[in-house]
Chains A and B, each alone.
Chain A
Amino acid sequence: MLEARNLRKTFGELRATDDVSLQFGTTDGEMVFIVGPNGAGKTTLVNLLTGLLTPDQGSVVVHQDDGDGSTVEREITGLAPEKRVDAGLVRSFQIVHVFEEMTVRENLRVAVLSERGETLNVLSFDDGHDGVERTVDDLLAQFRLEDVADEVADTLPHGDRKLLDVAMSFGLEPTYLLLDEPTAGVATREKEYVIETIAEASDADDVTTVTIEHDMDIVKSYADRLVVLHEGRVFREGDPSLLETDGELRRVLLGVDE
C-alpha cells in the first residue's frame, strides 16, 4: 500500500497540495482515478508521491511485505525518484517523456534493462538479452507498437508517443503505477485500448494504478475508487458512482450547472 500523509506543497502563495492524506492499493490491483479541474493539484500530488517534488510537510509511506506475512512501513518522503522505482513506484508523464532519439524498441529496452538491474552492465550488448527482448516484444504487442518498433521516438505521432510512455512504465513492472493523463491526446479509438491495457495489466500483476484522468466515461468504467481534488484538497473520495449522484461534484468537475 502507498500512502500520502498530510502532504502539503506551496508555490509562492499558491497551495498546490493542501493537507492531502490518501491511501492507494488498499485492495490488490486497485485502480484509483484522480479527477479534478485544472489547477486542482493533481499533478503536484503525483509529483510529491514520485519524488519529483519534496513536500513542505507530510510524508509518503509504502507498506511492504516483509516476507513472513506481516507488513512494514517504509517512509520514502526524501527518497530520490530512481530509488522509488526500486520500491515499485513508477510513473508516466502528462507531457510525454520518452527518449526522443531512440527507437521505440530501444526506449522499451532501456526501461526493461533498468528493471532487471542491467544498466551498469558493460559486458553485453544492449540488445543481447533474450529475456529482455521477449519482454520488449510483449510490451510492443501489448501496446500495439509493433509496427513502429524501429521508428525513432521523436518522429512518432503523439498518440504513439503517449503509448510508448505508458508502455515504458509497464516495462518497469511496478507495484504502484502513477499515470498522469495517460489518454490525453491519444486518438479516441485507442484511448479505450490504452486504459483497457492498463486495467488488464493491473489485474494480471496486481499493480495498483493511480491515474489522473479527465475522461469521465473512462473513470466511470474503470475506477475502483475515485479521488476528487479541488483547490489542492481532497474534495471527494469514494465510489465512481458519485459522478452520477453528486451534483456539487458535477458542477466542480464538468462545469455543468444542472
Chain B
Amino acid sequence: MFESLPYHALNGVYYGFILFMIAAGLTIVFGVLGVLNLAHGELYAFGAFVAFSIVGYLTGLVAEPTGPVTALIFGAVVLVGSLAAAAVLLPVGATLEAAFVRPIYDRDDVYQLLLTYALLLILTDVMKFVWGAKPLDVGVYDGLNAIPTTELFGIDYPTYNVVVVAVGLVVFGWLVWFFDRTKTGRIVRATAIDREMATAIGVSTDRIFTLVFAMGAFFAGFGGAMVSIGPGSAYLEMGLSPLVLSFVVIVIGGLGSLRGALVGALLVGVTTQVVTPYYSELELAVPFVLMVVVLLVRPEGLYGTWGEIE
C-alpha cells in the first residue's frame, strides 16, 4: 500500500514549490506593508491568463519539440514567456498600490481587507473582460515534458515538476539573495523593521511600498504562470483556494518569513500529497489542521517574527 510513498513525497515537493511561489509574494507584502492582500489570488490568476497569451504567442513562433535540443529550446521559450508574463504584473501591482492601497495605510485593518476584497472582485471582471469567462489552457505542458530529465535516473517524474522545483529553488534563492545581499533588498528589510527610522535615514517608504507590492504581484503572477504552463489551466476563480492556502502557509511558517514560507509550503504540500491517496477525505482539511496545530503549539509560526523578512 505504501510503496508509492516516495512518489507521493516527490509530488508533494513539487506542489509545495507551487504553493511557495504564491505564498512568497503574500508574505513579503504582509511583512513590509502590513496589509493582508486578499486580491493576491487574483494577481496569481492574472499571471496565469497573461501567461496564456504571452507563452501561447511565443511558443507559436517556435516549433513543437521533436528531439532533446528542440525540447530544450521550447522549454526555454516557455520559461522566458512565464517571466515576461510575471513582469506584466509589476506595473499592475505598482498601480494598484499607488492608486488604491496607499490612501488607506493609516485606516483600520478591516478597511484594508475590505479594499483588497473589492480589488479582488474588480480584478476578476477585468480578467473576464480581457480573456473571457472560460478556462484557458496554453497547452505547453506536454512539450515541456518532452525534455528528458528524471528518466535519465529511471524515475518517472514529469519534467514539468522538475522545472517547478528548480524554478522554485531559484525563486527562493533569488529572494534570499535579494533581501540579504542587495542594497535595495536590505533597504526594504530596514523599512519593514522600522518605517520611521528608515525615513530618518532617507528611505522613501512610499516607493518601497510600491516596489514591494509590485514584487508581491510579480511573484503571484509568476506562480500563476507556472501553474498555467503546467497541467492546469487559467480560470477565473483559480485564485481562491491558493489564496486561502497561502494564508495557511505563511502562518505556519511565520508571518513575513521567507524561510518560513518555504518550509510551510513544503510541509503543506508534502503532507497533503502523502495523506491524499490514503485518506482522500482529509485532503481539504489537512492544511488547516496543520495550521491549527502549529498555531496552538507555536503561536508565532515556525520561524516568524512579525514584520521582518528573513
Q: Do chains A and B touch in the complex (CB under 8 A)?
A: no
